[in-house]
Amino acid sequence: MLRICIYDDESLESANLQRMIAQYARRKKIDTSVVELMKQDELLKRRSEFDVVFLVVQLRDLKLGFETGVKLRWLKSEAELLFYSEYDDYIRKSLELRAFRFFHKPIHETELNFALDDLLHGQNIQTNQVYIKIPSDVVVLDARNIVYIETNSRQRKITMRNGDCHFTNETIDSLRVKLSDKNFGQPRNGFLLNLAFVQKLTRHTLTVAMPDQNTPNEVELGRHYKKDFITSFSSFKVQ
């Protein structure tokens, strides 16, 4: 999932950018989410939700561009910044902020496609990252290090390969959607499992290999989940 924010107060330019991003995503068969924001405070507050931020630069209001970019960097946002403007004077300034790209308005589709290709194939966008809401904050986890997620009382407990645990109020359904392209399966109700940690699978149970434990965990397959889980695991094994 590539999470994109467009920070612009011109609805026409923003709509055109969203259209081109949607066409690129369909062609590349990737999942994207695009959020349009016009208030600096809201963008800064939600900065951890985005992998990429497009910022327009206008002479009439620098808050729409560089001031916001400076604050994102000061707050240690890991999002890639892509600026666009009618004015060449801002190219050097954008480089000072370690911008990934500077576009001249209007943005041409070919130029945008090249930039998105570079983002996806570079090391800047971590395709295994997943954003999880925890009480009063958001954590970014590497899906490859999540062993399993289980319902624990009214929360979901996320167990990592190093033994760390995180608790979230997000539902199993919501988490399943976030992890849908990251090799997770659901062996029973209220439980998600990283298929890479399945040590053994039988008709009725599976064994989870815990890296820091001598004794593997055994999980019973739910009657209504068994068929889909076995199919998912079989597909994973032939990758």
**Same domain (yes/no): 6, 117:** yes
Domain boundary among 54, 86, 121: 121
* Rounded (5°) CA angle 196-80-89: 165
Q: Residue 62: give its domain's CATH number.
A: 3.40.50.2300
If one counts the domains in the chain, the total is 2
Residues 109 and 164 in one domain: no
Lowest mean pLDDT among 72-76, 84-88, 111-115: 84-88
Beta strand 198-201 pairing with 146-152: unpaired
pLDDT digits over 45-67, tens only? 998 889 899 998 874 565 567 88
Examine residue 130 and state whether it is found in any structural domain, yes or no.
no
The confidence score (pLDDT) of residue 124 equals: 43
Question: What's the pTM?
Answer: 0.51
Question: Does residue 128 lie in a domain region?
Answer: no
Same domain flag for 66 and 162: no
Q: Is 179 found in the same domain as 222?
A: yes
State mean pLDDT over 80-100. 78
Q: Is the pLDDT of residue 174 over 70?
A: yes
Indicate if 112 and 7 belong to the same structural domain.
yes
Task: Please give the residue range of the domain that contains residue 192.
Answer: 136-237
Range list of H helices, 86-212:
91-96, 109-121, 172-178
DSSP class of 166: E
Using alpha carbons only, how large is the chain's radius of gyration in Å?
A: 21
- Across the chain, the runs of DSSP E, i.e. the strands, are 2-7, 32-37, 52-57, 80-85, 101-104, 129-134, 137-142, 146-152, 155-160, 165-168, 184-188, 191-194, 198-201, 205-208, 217-220
pLDDT band at 136 (very low <50, low <70, confident <90, very high): confident
| Per-residue pLDDT tens over the stretch 198-233 | 989 998 999 998 765 655 688 999 999 999 999 999
Whether residue 119 is predicted with pLDDT greater than 90 in this model: the reply is no
Task: Give domain status of residue 215, yes or no.
Answer: yes
